[in-house]
Structure 1
Amino acid sequence: MIGIDEIEAAAGRVADQVVRTPVVESPGLSGLLGVAVTAKLELLQRTGSFKARGAVAKLRALSPDERAAGVVAVSGGNHGIALAVMAGALDVKATVVMPRSAPARAVRLAEEAGATVRVADDMAEAFSLTERLRDEGSTLVHPFDDEVVIAGQGTVGLEFADDAGELTDVLVSIGGGGLISGVAAALRHLRPGVRVWGVETEGAEAMTSALRAGGPVPVELSSIVSTLSAPAVSAITHEHVSTLVEGVEVVSDADAVRGVLELAEHAKVWAEPAAGCLLPAARRVVDWVGPQARLGLVVCGGNTTPADVQSWAQRFDLT
């Protein structure tokens, strides 16, 4: 299990390369949900998501030989962008493997940052290719099966605990589980009374399936939310979530996109569906906890385009 010492050490490693993103009370979301809402705006992070934190933490922890070998990562979008940009900033050669379903913008940004981008047919093939490249000598920067990366993501929770007022419940999106593992570890130490809830979308239910099975299992992926579409969680993220997280809610793609529109209208932030999915789950938490709830939302990223959102809104008849 990741402890507060590891997270604080990661905070020192990443401080000069990442933004201490705002923690703000949101009158708009409070009005929408009927309870006090505070948001941690990680969509304002470098590269547009929290992923820059874990990427820098790992890159800074590499040995000279590992740096010289270059790094490789698999990504549905945000991890690849973050690793490409931060590796460029720290003068490390990077290869990013993405599924064909990854947003074209993510591929372009990774290439513009100087990374070599390899495109696979699907996420399972992307993970397989990444393993082969690691076996050929590249240093793997896994998006969630890595204690150093999880500790880096945990700096989100460290800052949230320091900067937020009273909270009863914090909601965090789950792809492979690195972010929620780090955030939950930080909050367990600094805000032990706060409940942490995870959120997945239908067709990207790797953590829900793992909790049901008692450990990581492969899942079929069909969600539009590529940044949450891990083919399986890892043993370490399953352990953290099963131990530290109150529960994991699964919401539809349509509700995740509706959440994107609601965040734009009521919070005035431009988020991706991986963050939009928090709002339908937050409504369920409010129903269980009641009007005394004081919610914290980790708005994990904003890497989506107006064209994407318009297309999804039309697909789900949300216009």
Structure 2
Amino acid sequence: MITLADVEATAARITGHVLRTPTVASPGLTELLGVPVTAKLELLQRTGSFKSRGATAKLLSLTDAERAAGVVAVSGGNHGIATAVMAGALGIEATVVMPRSAPRRAVETAEAAGAHVVLADSMDGAFALVDELRTKGLTLVHPFDDPVVIAAQGTVGLELGQDAGELTDVVVSIGGGGLISGVATALHALRPGIRVWGVETEGAQAMTAALAAGGPVPVALSSIVTTLSAPSASQLTYEHVSALVTDVLSVTDAEAVQGVLDLAEHAKLWTEPAAGCVLPAARRVLDRVGPDARLGLVICGGNATTTDVASWARESAPS
């Protein structure tokens, strides 16, 4: 388990490489949900998501020999972009493996940053290919199963805890669980008694399955939200979530897409479904805790094109 000291040390290490993103009260979301809402705007982070934090921390931790040999990352989109861009900025050669379902924009952005992008038929296949590439001497920049990465993602919670007003409940998206593990660690240390809630989309429920089974298990992936589609949680993230997170909620792909549209309309934020899912989850949280809540929403990323969102909205519209 990482600690607040780990998060604070990592924050100092990555300062100057990543942004301290805004933490803002949202009048639009406050009106929509009927309780005070504060948003942590990680979609304004370098590369468009919180993933730059973890990728940067891991790259900065490499030895000279590891830097010279290069790195490999596996990603449904945002982690690949972050690793490619931050590795390019630090002069490190990167290979990024993504499933063919990854957004085209993610592939093009990683390639434009100088990374070698390899496409696999599935996310399971992408993870298997990374294992093969590691045998050739490349260092893995894992999207979530690494205490260095988790501590870096925890800097999101550190900043939220320092910059927000009163909060009772914070909602965080879950893919493999690195973000919520770090955020929950920091927030519980800074604000004892706060509740942290996770949200997954149906068809990408690695953490829900792990909590039900008492540990990580493989899951079938069918969600359109590739940036949340981990084939399993890790033991490390499972232990953090089981100890620190109040509950993990599930929403449909259609609800996540509607969340994107609602965030655009009411919060003036252009997000992606991995962030959109926090809005329907917030409504479920309010059903559980009542109208006296003061919500924090981690808006984890905004790497979706207008074409993507229009297509998802058409596909999820009631027939």
Does the TM-score normalized on the shorter chain lie above 0.5? yes
Q: CA deviation at 1:318?
A: 6.7
Deviates more, 1:266-275 or 1:283-292: 283-292
Q: CA deviation at 1:193?
A: 1.4
Q: Which residue of 2 aligns with 1:202?
A: 202
Contact 1:224 1:253 in 2 (8 A): yes
Q: Which residue of 1 aligns with 2:162?
A: 162
Q: Which residue of 1 aligns with 2:280?
A: 280
Q: Deviations over 1:211-238 (max 9, x none)?
A: 0000000000000000000000100000
Q: What is the CA–CA distance in structure 2 between the aligned matches of 1:237 and 1:192, rounded to whole Å? A: 20
Q: Which residue of 2 aligns with 1:103?
A: 103
Question: Partner amino acid for 1:78?
Answer: N
Answer yes or no: is 1:241 the counterpart of 2:241: yes
**TM-score normalised according to structure 2 size:** 0.99
Q: Which residue of 1 aligns with 2:258?
A: 258
Contact 1:19 1:46 in 2 (8 A): yes
Q: Deviations over 1:66-108 (max 9, x none)?
A: 1111000000000000000000011111000000000000000
Q: What is the CA–CA distance in structure 2 between the aligned matches of 1:278 and 1:94, rounded to whole Å? A: 31
Q: What is the CA–CA distance in structure 2 between the aligned matches of 1:7 and 1:99, rounded to whole Å? A: 31
Q: Equivalent residue of 2:231, what SS? A: coil
Contact 1:271 1:301 in 2 (8 A): yes
Q: Which residue of 1 aligns with 2:13?
A: 13
Q: CA deviation at 1:292?
A: 0.5
**Aligned pairs (5 A) from 1:103-122:** 103-122=103-122
Contact 1:13 1:56 in 2 (8 A): no
Q: Equivalent residue of 1:232, what SS? A: coil
Contact 1:258 1:318 in 2 (8 A): no
Contact 1:144 1:178 in 2 (8 A): yes
Q: Which residue of 1 aligns with 2:175?
A: 175
Structure 1 312/285 Cα, relative in aligned 2: closer, same or farther at 3 Å?
A: same
Q: Which residue of 1 aligns with 2:44?
A: 44
Moved over 6 A (4+): none
Q: What is the CA–CA distance in structure 2 between the aligned matches of 1:149 and 1:69, rounded to whole Å? A: 20
Contact 1:174 1:180 in 2 (8 A): yes
Answer yes or no: is 1:212 the counterpart of 2:212: yes
Q: Equivalent residue of 2:158, what SS? A: helix
Q: Deviations over 1:95-129 (max 9, x none)?
A: 00000000000000000000000000000000000
Q: Deviations over 1:191-228 (max 9, x none)?
A: 11110000000000000000000000000000000000
Q: CA deviation at 1:135?
A: 1.5
Question: Partner amino acid for 1:234?
Answer: S
Question: Partner amino acid for 1:32?
Answer: L
Q: What is the CA–CA distance in structure 2 between the aligned matches of 1:13 and 1:55, rounded to whole Å? A: 12
Q: What is the CA–CA distance in structure 1 between the aligned matches of 2:303 and 2:289, rounded to whole Å? A: 31
Q: Which residue of 2 aligns with 1:85?
A: 85
Q: What is the CA–CA distance in structure 2 between the aligned matches of 1:109 and 1:24, rounded to whole Å? A: 28
Question: Partner amino acid for 1:262?
Answer: D
Q: Equivalent residue of 1:293, what SS? A: coil
**TM-score normalised according to structure 1 size:** 0.99
Q: What is the CA–CA distance in structure 1 between the aligned matches of 2:270 and 2:231, rounded to whole Å? A: 27
Q: CA deviation at 1:260?
A: 0.2
Provide the alpha-carbon RMSD of the alignment: 0.9
Q: Equivalent residue of 2:98, what SS? A: strand
Q: Equivalent residue of 2:24, what SS? A: strand
Q: Which residue of 2 aligns with 1:189?
A: 189
Q: Equivalent residue of 1:118, what SS? A: strand
Q: Which residue of 2 aligns with 1:23?
A: 23
Q: What is the CA–CA distance in structure 1 between the aligned matches of 2:315 and 2:296, rounded to whole Å? A: 30
Q: CA deviation at 1:157?
A: 0.4
Question: Partner amino acid for 1:219?
Answer: V
Q: What is the CA–CA distance in structure 2 between the aligned matches of 1:191 and 1:58, rounded to whole Å? A: 27
Q: Deviations over 1:24-76 (max 9, x none)?
A: 00010011111000000000000000000000100111111111110000000
Q: CA deviation at 1:132?
A: 0.6
Q: Deviations over 1:106-161 (max 9, x none)?
A: 00000000000000000000000001111111000100000000001000000000
Contact 1:173 1:198 in 2 (8 A): yes
Q: Which residue of 2 aligns with 1:58?
A: 58
Q: Equivalent residue of 1:73, what SS? A: strand
Q: What is the CA–CA distance in structure 1 between the aligned matches of 2:145 and 2:218, rounded to whole Å? A: 15
Contact 1:201 1:250 in 2 (8 A): yes
Q: CA deviation at 1:13?
A: 1.1
Q: What is the CA–CA distance in structure 2 between the aligned matches of 1:80 and 1:58, rounded to whole Å? A: 13
**Aligned pairs (5 A) from 1:62-73:** 62-73=62-73
Question: Partner amino acid for 2:41?
Answer: L
Answer yes or no: is 1:311 the counterpart of 2:311: yes
Question: Partner amino acid for 2:265?
Answer: E
Q: What is the CA–CA distance in structure 1 between the aligned matches of 2:205 and 2:278, rounded to whole Å? A: 15
